[in-house]
Amino acid sequence: MKRLFFLLLTCLFISTSAFADKTKFTATAPNVVALGEQFRLSYSLNEKGTNLKLPAINGFQILMGPSTSTSMSTQYINGKMTSSSSYTYTYVLLAETEGKFTFDPAEITVDGKVIKSNSHTIEVVRESTKNKQQGTHSSTSAQAQRITEDNLYIKVNVDRKSVFMGEPVKATLKIYSKNKNLVNIEPVKLPTFQGFLTQEIERDSPSTLTGENVNGEIMYTFIRSEYLLFPQHEGEIVIEPWEMNCIVQLSAQARSRGFFDDFFNNYKNVRVPRKSKPVTIKVKPVPNNAPASFDGAVGQFKISTSINQDSVKVDDAITMKVKISGNGNMKLINPLKFEFPADFEVYDPKTNQDLESSAKGMTGSTTFEYLIIPRHAGDFTIPANEFTYFDPKAKRYITKLTPEFKIQVAKGEGGVSSPTISSFTKEDVKFIGKDIRFIKTNNFEPIYKGEIFFGTLNFYLAYILPLFVFILAFVFNRKRIKENADVAKMKNKRANRVAMKRLKAASQRLHANEKEAFYDEILKALWDYISDKFNLPLSDLSKDNIRGILAEKGVDQEISDDFMTILDTCEFARYAPTSGSSEMDSLYQKTMETITKLEKNIK
């Protein structure tokens, strides 16, 4: 009986949830209206409903409504017909009181169920006398004069102008217009955000002109794009201006008005250039009392650690996962360094990221997977570890501990633990017996002391061979002198050799774990290679024109993108927290491959 009751309750819950998900009841209205302005409040329903109940509407007068409109659509997909209906209930309201008002959800009945809409907030502002006077103009010249920096401008809005190192800044490129006659925009120059690591925020729906209260006046705004900016160094960083052409539609009426002029108007589009003002961001260093376990993580995080098994045999693999989730500079978090037992062979952790950039910042999780292989039997302990991050809201460091894991390792097949060789690392393994060499036993003929050298073949070769070598050296030297005279050709020829020397120096920095010097050598190798290969002075090169130069030389787009990505990674990593050796080694290999591909691909 109880099982039947729970089954019926579950079916009722599922059917109610499905009904709630299927039926949508939405309220729409302007966000901002002027005092005395008429506007529409609409409720849309995708099912036929009855008994519509409005919430209390204070501060507004209902002039008309509800007027009901119905639309239906039918589709045939793969021979299957689907149909949908939409019902809209529209009211015309008059704003009578200045202030901000929130409409509670409206209610409507669908198939005996009461459905509620969303709530909506409307702000009523008083229209200035200046705007009313501007509305009386009608000629083209008068309208053009009304397009000023006060009623049409663009801005870079930031959510904060002072942040800690590693704390993101949300930047919004926004257009402000006093009228609704903005019909299009043409990008001229977008900011490069020099000094920041940028991540564009994907928008769920295209941006539209939206009313907004700006200093007590109604402005229609349009969001061009939004970014999360992660500072790369401390101090003041300036966001350079961005430029845009705004296409505004104006009414062009004839000077002499005729009978039909009251019924027909001509319109023309006017291109209005606009430029924003620079914005300065102050980047503060994190406090200097950081614990030893702090590795550059800034934000609010949670950490969880798990292993797939704690009782294994020798040479069986164990997977340990460390998951860090939250909001902050998730891309800059490095793997935790655990003190594994000496009898464990541990591989470099695998990193998996599930991140999303939104208006709230970069959220999601980063998971590190450690592959562990025990080589001897016994009871072992993976000690607890610390993960420390800086919370910019609390302005303090927070340390969280991972749990301690007990591992029991049993003997493998045959009752043996493991070959003795397993105590060495993969690089230190030696093969016994290869260092002993046999004495050479090949036959040889001794030279007798009394043998005559004059007149023998070796005698004549002793004169001929030096003469031949001298002639070859003379020809080669003449050729070398001629090639050295052509400076551009010499630089082109030695570009790859010079780049490889730089990369060799970078390899030495990599093994010495000198992070900044390593990235400097990589950058010098790339810049010097382009300079020598195309005979261009370093002062004339920049990230903006390198892509164009590579395109002119017929370089594939993929190779060009890899080259620019390496430049961006090096510039960012010089100021980022310490990178792991695996990331530096991967960058080194990718640089070698990219230069090799460039050498083969350049036409």
Task: Centre a 10 Å sphere on the Cβ of residue 17 and count the other Cβ atoms it contains.
Answer: 10
DSSP letters, 217-268, are: EEEEEEEEEEEEEEESSSEEEEE---EEEEEEEEE---SS--GGGGT---EE
CA distances to 139, 147, 153 from 143, rounded to whole Å, are 6, 7, 16
β-partners of residue 357 are 362
Asked whether the predicted pLDDT for residue 5 surpasses 80, the reply is no
Kindly state the tokens that stand for 603. Answer: 């036409």
How far apart CA 267 and CA 249 sit, in angstroms, is 7
Confidence class for position 75, pLDDT limits 50, 70, 90:
low
Asked whether the predicted pLDDT for residue 17 surpasses 50, the reply is no
Rounded to the nearest 10°, the torsion over CA 489, 493, 494, 496 is 140
Residue 502: left if φ>0, alpha if ψ -120 to 50, beta else—which one?
alpha
User: Which of 111-120, 184-193, 426-435, 493-502 has the least mean pLDDT?
Assistant: 426-435
Task: Report the pLDDT value the prediction gives residue 432, as an integer from 0 to 100.
Answer: 40
Task: Centre a 10 Å sphere on the Cβ of residue 23 and count the other Cβ atoms it contains.
Answer: 16
User: Which ranges of 23-92 would DSSP assign to H, the alpha helix?
Assistant: none
Confidence class for position 139, pLDDT limits 50, 70, 90:
very low
Confidence class for position 125, pLDDT limits 50, 70, 90:
confident
Confidence class for position 301, pLDDT limits 50, 70, 90:
very high
| Better pLDDT: 416 or 224 | 224
**Spatial CA neighbour of 312 closest among 343, 269, 285:** 343
Which residue ranges form the domains of the chain, and what is each CATH number? 22-125 (2.60.40.10), 129-284 (no CATH), 297-418 (2.60.40.740), 487-601 (1.20.120)
Evaluate the omega torsion of the peptide bond into residue 105 and state whether it is cis, within 30 degrees of 0.
Answer: no
Name the percent of the chain lying above pLDDT 70.
77
Burial class (CB within 10 angstroms; exposed 0-12, middle 13-18, buried 19+) of 1:
exposed
Confidence class for position 580, pLDDT limits 50, 70, 90:
low
Max avg pLDDT among 57-66, 425-434, 448-457, 464-473 = 464-473
Instruction: Give long-range contacts, CB 8 A cutoff, 24+ apart: 203-210.
Output: 209/177, 209/180, 209/182, 210/31
Task: Report the pLDDT value the prediction gives residue 383, as an integer from 0 to 100.
Answer: 92
Task: Report the pLDDT value the prediction gives residue 306, as an integer from 0 to 100.
Answer: 92
> DSSP letter at 336?
P
pTM of the model: 0.53
Asked whether the predicted pLDDT for residue 485 surpasses 60, the reply is no
**Spatial CA neighbour of 364 closest among 199, 226, 233:** 199
| CB contact at 8 A, 574 and 492 | no
Confidence class for position 140, pLDDT limits 50, 70, 90:
very low
Confidence class for position 304, pLDDT limits 50, 70, 90:
very high
| Better pLDDT: 46 or 324 | 324
Q: Compute the average pLDDT of residues 147-163.
A: 88
Burial class (CB within 10 angstroms; exposed 0-12, middle 13-18, buried 19+) of 53:
exposed
| Better pLDDT: 307 or 545 | 307
User: Which of 40-49, 69-78, 376-385 has the least mean pLDDT?
Assistant: 69-78
Task: Report the pLDDT value the prediction gives residue 322, as an integer from 0 to 100.
Answer: 93
Q: Name the strand (E) or helix (H) holding 22.
A: helix 2-22
C-alpha neighbours within 13 Å on the C-beta side of residue 202: 5
Average predicted confidence (pLDDT) for the chain: 77
Contacts of 551 (CB under 8 A, 6+ apart): 557, 560
